[in-house]
Amino acid sequence: MDYIGLDIGGTSIKAGLVDQTGQILESQKAPTIIDDLNGFLSNLSELIRNFQKSFKVAAVGIGVPGLRNSKTHVVETSPNIPCLVRVNLEDLVADQVHLPVISENDANAGAYAEFVCGAGAGTRQMVYLTLGTGLGSGLILDGKLFTGASGYAGEFGHTVIDPNGRLCGCGNRGCLETIVSGTGIVRTAAEKGMQGLLTAEIVYEAAVHGDRTAQEVFKETATFLGMACANLIDLLNLEMIVIGGGVMAAGEMLLAPARDAAARHAFRSSFRDCRIVQSKLWPDAGVIGAAMLARDL
Ligand SMILES: [Zn+2]
């Protein structure tokens, strides 16, 4: 039996047929329709039906970029996909494809993938961070995905580190993700005087080619990332922090100084017991995690 994992992004829906060990057998993509629920659902169902034509599918998992209530299974809000407000995606999709369907926050799905068959396999206390446009996170505590009282846990990117800081997409000021994310890197680079059209990738390339300002941007970002890791380590006494997301293409340029900062700020005994590593499954962690949640439903 195989499972379908769907990872809903702001611009596209990634879909994968995943076997029970977490291997992706086949992938597909469709555009995300963000402002019309019927259109959104019909693209989603079509992806599932395409797989159903040639494979025996046991269940479907959907990773959603938003808050999903664990009691009602309703997606309460999804900042980048306005049609997903107070929607029970599980019921709506199940009605169309006649399969069991489970939904979960996308970063939580990614965390679950790394825990089940990625970098965090074998651990019991693990946090997954994903650095993309924002900073997503998911918690594995005592060998289980931890989603809190109502399903909204793991919004570490929106912990406040500066009350007068930068305005965040969530409406607050000074959230961690306004600094530690692709968007944060671009803002830091602009503040430090880098000119022209900036992306995290462009700043990275400049740093690799010796641009001192760009190197400082990465060092500063890594320092905040490391402090954030230290906070997690002191709070949760983790075995591992797994870091993925597009920005992690920068690899050790971010990770090495982040580890140094974490070592400076965390309790020594607690830091010693925690490894900070790169994701094994990115960019497929979301798809695999959603499928594994469907498997373990
Ligand atoms: Zn925020």
Dump pLDDT digits (tens) for 249-259. Answer: 999 999 999 99
| Residue 146 confidence (pLDDT) | 98
Average pLDDT (162-169) is 96
Distance 170 CA to ligand 1 centre (A): 4
| 137 C-alpha to ligand 1 centroid (Å) | 13
**Rounded mean pLDDT, 126-154:** 97
pLDDT (average), residues 259-278:
98
Backbone φ, ψ for residue 95 (5° rounding): -60, -35
pLDDT band at 297 (very low <50, low <70, confident <90, very high): confident
What pLDDT digit, counting tens, does each position of 95-112 carry? 999 999 999 999 999 999
3-state class (DSSP) for residue 62: strand
The fraction of the chain above a pLDDT of 70, given in percent, is 100
Quickly state the pLDDT bin for 59 (edges 50, 70, 90).
very high
pLDDT at 79 over 90: no
The Å distance, Cα 225 to ligand 1 centre, comes to 15
Q: What is the distance in A from the centroid of ligand 1 to the CA of 50?
A: 37
Structure tokens at 55: 């494979």
Task: Please tell me the distance between residue 186's alpha carbon and the centre of ligand 1 in angstroms.
Answer: 16
CA–centroid distance, residue 276 to ligand 1 (Å): 24
Distance between Cα 85 and ligand 1 center (Å): 18
pLDDT of residue 269: 98
Strand pairing of 2-8 and 57-64? parallel
Query: Averaged over 224-248, what is the pLDDT?
Result: 97
Average pLDDT over the chain, rounded to an integer: 97
Contact criterion met (CB below 8 Å) for 4 and 295: no
Q: What is the mean pLDDT of residues 191-196?
A: 96
Residue 24 CA to ligand 1 center (angstroms) comes to 33
Domains (ranges, CATH) in the chain? 2-109+284-295 (3.30.420.40), 123-278 (3.30.420.40)
Tell how far the Cα of 25 is from the centroid of ligand 1, in angstroms: 36
Question: How much distance in Å is there from the Cα of 97 to the middle of ligand 1?
Answer: 35
**What are 142's two structure tokens?**
């005592």
181: CA distance to ligand 1 center in Å?
Answer: 12
The alpha carbon of 155 and the centre of ligand 1 are apart by a number of angstroms equal to 9
d(CA 132, ligand 1 centre) in Å? 14
Do residues 110 and 138 lie in contact, with contact meaning Cβ atoms separated by under 8 Å? yes
At position 58, the amino acid (one-letter code) is A
Distance from residue 174's CA to the centre of ligand 1 (Å): 7
296 Cα–ligand 1 center, Å: 31
Q: Is the pLDDT score of 125 beyond 90? A: yes
pLDDT on residue 81: 94
Averaged over 182-206, what is the pLDDT? 96
Q: Does residue 264 surpass a pLDDT of 90? A: yes
How many whole angstroms from 171 Cα to the centroid of ligand 1? 6
CA distance 172 to 169: 7
